Copies of this chain bind each other. A is one copy, B any other.
C-alpha cells in the first residue's frame, strides 16, 4: 500500500489463462455441462479485456475477432449468466447502461466511476471491508457479497 494512503489500487492477478481455463472446465464438468468453442472464446476475451464489458460489447468483439466461428448474442448472455452464478465473473450495475462484467481474477475491490467520461478506477480499503462485515454481523446478517460504487468527476473531466 502506498505511503499515506488508507487504501490500495494495486491488485494482483493470481491467475494465468491456463489456470483459468482449467478452473472453468472443472466447473463445467462438475455441473455436467459441456466445454464448447463459444464458451472458450468468451472466457478468452474476458481474460484479454482490460475493462468491464457489456454483453453486447463482448458479442461484437467476438464477431470481429473470430469471423470464422458462429456466435449468437443469446449464447453470450447465457454464458455470462452461467459465469455469474459460478462467481466466475463479477457484475457491475450501471445507472444508464447495461450490466458490465469482468472476470473475478483480481482480489475483491470496489469501483469509483466518473460521471463525465465513464472511467472506472478500482480500489480496495481494508478498513471499509472490516466495517461492512462488522455492521452486517451486528444486524444479524450473514454476508454473501457487497458492492460499493462512488460516483464523481475525475481529475481530467474537472478541467473541461
Chain A interfacial positions (CB closer than 8 Å to B): 5-7, 9, 91, 93-95, 112, 114-115, 121, 123, 125, 127-128, 131-132, 134-136, 138-155, 158
Copy total for this chain: 2
Residues of B contacting A114 with CB < 8 Å?
141
- Interchain CB contact (< 8 A) of A152 among B95, B112, B127, B136: B136
Residues of B contacting A112 with CB < 8 Å?
135-136, 139, 141
Residues of B contacting A151 with CB < 8 Å?
143-147
Given contacts A6-B131, A121-B139, 8 further A-B contacts (CB under 8 A): A93-B94, A112-B135, A112-B139, A136-B150, A141-B153, A142-B152, A144-B152, A146-B151
User: In angstroms, how far is the closest chain B Cβ from the Cβ of A41?
Assistant: 26
Most buried by B among A91, A125, A136: A136
Listed A/B pairs (21) with beta-carbon separation below 8 Å: A6-B134, A6-B135, A7-B131, A7-B135, A9-B139, A91-B95, A93-B94, A93-B95, A112-B136, A121-B139, A123-B135, A127-B127, A136-B152, A140-B155, A141-B150, A141-B153, A142-B153, A145-B150, A145-B152, A146-B151, A148-B148
| B132, A150: Cβ atoms closer than 8 Å | yes
- Interchain CB contact (< 8 A) of A141 among B91, B138, B142, B155: B155
| A152, B143: Cβ atoms closer than 8 Å | yes
| A7, B152: Cβ atoms closer than 8 Å | no
Residues of B contacting A134 with CB < 8 Å?
6
